Structure 1
Amino acid sequence: MDRWNGKIAVVTGAGSGNGAAITKDLLRNYIKVIGLDINLEALENLKRTISNNFKENFFAKKCNVTDFAEVDAVFEWIFSNFDGIDILVNNAGVARDGNLCTMDPKDVQFILNTNVMGYVHCTRKAFINMKTRKFDGHIILINSALGHRVVPLGNSMSVNIYAPSKFAITAMTEIYREEFFSEGTKIKITSISPGMVHTPMIGEEVKEKVKNILYPEDIAQAVIYAISTPPHVQIHEISLKPFGEPV
């Protein structure tokens, strides 16, 4: 991890859940973190929970990853105020209730814009910056177990377009791996696919029904493991499931 001391990480969806836990673990490893979130208040609340030893290395910026103009502006601010981006954690994600066959197309589009296009645009900005600087950075895509296998959740719940959006991340990971290499870089790409995680995205009713569940800190540890590998090792996919998960 010594190579990352003082380096710059960008975490999308940093205000809560997995993003907040990942941010804290990166900070504890002496990495400067620029936390992006659509909810600036959530970022400010996160900052209040960060140890005083690391507060000065956390920078909060409001950013809606579905708004390409806003993403461009935030990344230009980053490029103007820091040496560049060394680690990108694409974490911002959303889910909506409803059956795919009947749900509002606007909800479907919002999920795809956040979970897929948000990753595409942020990855593009980070990759070009890393390649231009000739820096062997690392890009993390927070995926899901539902991005590898669709598991029925029962009559009262549907994974609707959320699962296909995560299947896209699985395919994108392989495409990025090949493209990063063909572009002559040593930039790494890692997909992290957890099962159900105790985050605000999961409703309280669901949390009460589920006996086996992961926590954001578990996902954060996987991120640290992936970026701690030596230059010749690339962790392509990490799959996490809570012990005893039935499927």
Structure 2
Amino acid sequence: MTQEPNITNTLDFTGRVAIVTGAGGGLGRLHALALAKRGAKVLVNDLGGMLDGTGGSPAAAQKVVDEIVAAGGQALANGASVTDFAAVEAMVAQAVNTWGRVDILVNNAGVLRDKSFAKMEMDDFRFVVDVHLMGAAHCSKAVWTQMMAQKYGRIVMTTSSTGLYGNFGQANYGAAKLAQVGLMQTLAIEGGKHGIHVNALAPTATTRMTEALFPEDVREAFKPEAVVPAMLVLAHESAPTRTILCAGAGGFEAAHITLTQGIHLGLGDSVPEQLAASLAQVTDRTGSSVPGSGAEQGANEMRLLRSM
């Protein structure tokens, strides 16, 4: 157990306006409730569909709004599908017209259509990518101009250990979730000078999407409430940027996409064979780094060239 730090400041969201997608239940609902409890005005978005994305009802989002209002907070319900950019733009306009700004976007909406890749229909692959990746892109694009104008914004992507490290039967989900990390990397770079911080959260939690994956004796420890603190840290004005926080069962880690030191082999007919023979050295993680941008990969290769 680590020693608890001396905490002098609270994560306060008074006066902030947040949009949380997929917030009609599960982790999204808890995100919305936590932000509202700490002072934020929250637009609760949820299509109200099934786990596979079919169907839809505004009741789920409205129920969470009712919870927030009953507790003394301010909230709006919205039933837009994140796959519909026009509807997402209208959702953002709803928040801005009511409260004058949007400070926080939590891209939480998601679906599952799990099958092994051999059995997966490409329509199911495409739909999962549309919801997770294009949904996050639609919502981020819709708030981007507003955040740039006000010189402030916090965007939280929801990635997954499946995207970061893989998981059987979830090729579509994993591809979409890692793609959100790629989106985060560039938006954080482009948004930095405008006061927009963009991060990603990789939750491990028992929700209706995942509860069957957990042994019964640990389900309580992995309840979604344990993930919410990481979201609050990434959505707060003190948030870092370009950070991937992992959270579950009270544990927190950071994931990094690293670059090894590498070697220089030059050009020539025998380079493929040299590379094959030297692969252990190329993949050796000793001295690996976290590049500040994609250009730093090229800069490292330039360093290797000039070291010869």
- TM-score strictly above 0.5: yes
What secondary structure, in the 3-state scheme, does the structure 2 residue paired with 1:140 have? strand
Q: CA RMSD in A?
A: 2.3
* Aligned partner letter, 1:41: A
Partner of 2:84: 67
User: Equivalents in 1 of 2:141, 2:40: separation in Å?
Assistant: 22
List aligned pairs for 1:62-141, cutoff 5 A.
62-134=79-151, 136-141=152-157
User: Equivalents in 1 of 2:67, 2:182: separation in Å?
Assistant: 36
Shift of 1:100: 2.2
List aligned pairs for 1:30-69, cutoff 5 A.
30-39=39-48, 40-50=58-68, 52-55=70-73, 57-69=74-86
Shift of 1:220: 1.5
Q: Equivalent of 1:188, from 183, 197, 206? A: 197
* Aligned partner letter, 2:112: A
Shift of 1:124: 1.0
The verdict on how the C-alpha distance between 1:2 and 1:163 changes in structure 2, with shifts beyond 3 A counting, is closer
Equivalent pair of 2:105/2:154 in contact (CA under 8 Å)? yes
Partner of 1:224: 232
Shift of 1:119: 0.2
Unaligned runs of 5+ in 1: 153-157
1:28-49 residue CA offsets vs partner (Å, 9 max, x unmatched)? 1010000111021111232344
Partner of 2:222: 214
Identity %: 25
Equivalent pair of 1:65/1:71 in contact (CA under 8 Å)? yes
The higher-RCO structure (CA 8 Å, 6+ apart) is 1
Partner of 1:163: 174
* Aligned partner letter, 1:216: P
Aligned residues: 232
Shift of 1:51: 6.5
Partner of 1:20: 29
Unaligned runs of 5+ in 2: 1-9, 49-57, 252-308
Shift of 1:3: 6.5
The verdict on how the C-alpha distance between 1:235 and 1:103 changes in structure 2, with shifts beyond 3 A counting, is closer
With normalisation by structure 2, the TM-score equals 0.69
